[in-house]
Structure 1
């Protein structure tokens, strides 16, 4: 290698390091497990670092309206990113559905939940964990499913509400609630249920859990934020998400 070519290679490497940056990402709690893999692969392929905050979509909406410096939102619904766009807090034209989630009835007890969800039609014994339906789309989907099954009134008094789907899962995982409505991604990895017993709630029982991503105003001039949104559309990101039970719009 000549001195000139060595110098150019060092310059290119230095420029790549200089371009690497952090991106502040607000991520719906149902995405906790896949986001760890996505963030790691994104860092490996782009050099950028996704700094992730997990929580309920409704709470993130309030925080962004109050000036939280998030650059990207990965929501658990499609309504919140659209609302942020209408409010002038998200960059128009950057919103897209990065995944369609699935709801599951789950128990840490491997023998409790049957594959048809018939346990919901039995008299309740113990608590049923759900995410707060006012803040979390998965909680709203759980209430819709119970209503469509005709058992909402029977379970209403037994509900243990978590602020987000992460807390609902913790209630069920700890045994504080024998049953819980969780995101399938919380109990699935590599296409299989990893622990306990689960019933994947049929999609017609609730509104589609279309999860949209959007570039927020603080990220509009940030290459790392734009790169993360591009990565979420890649085959690599979709392969990770598919392993956790997520689906994708047919037109994308």
Structure 2
């Protein structure tokens, strides 16, 4: 019995050592709207594979500029499909590695109950001082917000009330703190488990803006990194899909 236990312990130690020997780190640039689900996915990814994902969150457009200027990111999770496609065309990615990991949803949200109605008519009434959006120059969710307002015919009417966040995370912060009475944010920021937040909201119909197809891609710096390929595979797996859907994204 003692011999069996000794051998079993030795096998466990050997397996753990092999697991650690193959563990790696991957540097990941992540669109700010995907912060909460990616943090959860990264935890599960490390537990299941031994690889550690080092996450940085921000605006897609700013990440594009950083990547083109040599930032050492190895995987990029954008808030759109056009930015990874552009990096593809510029030879800054691993060819064939791009895929859609989520389809985002835009929501008009206020921390104040009753302020935002279920049809977004509050935009027409204009009974607010500040409306927050992400910077449309760098954030796809900001682009979508502008498309919605133009299609509703209220863009000019609310132009002097706009407060622009550097990214969708800062935009959400403006509304959450009351610095803006309402704002266009990602549905994932105000719904999904512990992320669910009180207030009032209007989930914007998908036909009012270009679909928020969010693509991931392995960057050139991750070409020879097993952890980069492992993360891309993991994002397409069942466990990641369940987490992504729990935050209100479509697949």
Q: State whether TM-score is above 0.5.
A: yes
State whether residues 30 and 55 of structure 2, in contact with CA within 8 Å, keep that contact through their aligned partners in structure 1: yes
How far off is 1:6 after superposition? Answer: 5.0
| 1:107-158 residue CA offsets vs partner (Å, 9 max, x unmatched) | 0112211111111110342110000001000000000000001111111111
State whether residues 169 and 186 of structure 1, in contact with CA within 8 Å, keep that contact through their aligned partners in structure 2: yes
1:210 aligns with 2:213: yes
Write the distance in 2 (CA, Å) between the matches of 1:22 and 1:137: 28
Matches within 5 A, 1:236-251: 236-248=239-251
TM-score by length of 1: 0.94
Q: 1:109 aligns with which of 112, 119, 125?
A: 112
Aligned-residue CA RMSD (Å): 1.5
Q: 2:87 aligns with which of 84, 92, 116?
A: 84
Write the distance in 1 (CA, Å) between the matches of 2:64 and 2:164: 20
How far off is 1:44 after superposition? Answer: 1.1
1:13 aligns with 2:27: no
Q: How many residues align?
A: 248
5+ residue gaps, structure 1:
none
Q: 2:164 aligns with which of 161, 185, 189?
A: 161
State whether residues 111 and 181 of structure 2, in contact with CA within 8 Å, keep that contact through their aligned partners in structure 1: yes
More divergent stretch after superposition (223-232 vs 193-202): 193-202
For the residue of structure 1 that corresponds to 2:122, the secondary structure is: helix
For the residue of structure 2 that corresponds to 1:76, the secondary structure is: coil
Paired residue for 1:123?
A: 126
Paired residue for 1:58?
A: 61
| 1:71-128 residue CA offsets vs partner (Å, 9 max, x unmatched) | 0000000001111111111111000000000000000112211111111110342110
How far off is 1:235 after superposition? Answer: 1.2
Write the distance in 2 (CA, Å) between the matches of 1:14 and 1:90: 32
- The verdict on how the C-alpha distance between 1:191 and 1:12 changes in structure 2, with shifts beyond 3 A counting, is closer
Paired residue for 2:150?
A: 147
Q: 2:177 aligns with which of 174, 178, 189?
A: 174
Write the distance in 1 (CA, Å) between the matches of 2:248 and 2:12: 42
State whether residues 188 and 195 of structure 2, in contact with CA within 8 Å, keep that contact through their aligned partners in structure 1: no
State whether residues 23 and 51 of structure 2, in contact with CA within 8 Å, keep that contact through their aligned partners in structure 1: yes
Write the distance in 2 (CA, Å) between the matches of 1:7 and 1:123: 70
Write the distance in 1 (CA, Å) between the matches of 2:212 and 2:112: 26
State whether residues 191 and 242 of structure 1, in contact with CA within 8 Å, keep that contact through their aligned partners in structure 2: no
Paired residue for 2:234?
A: 231
More divergent stretch after superposition (208-217 vs 39-48): 39-48
Q: 1:200 aligns with which of 179, 199, 203?
A: 203
TM-score by length of 2: 0.95
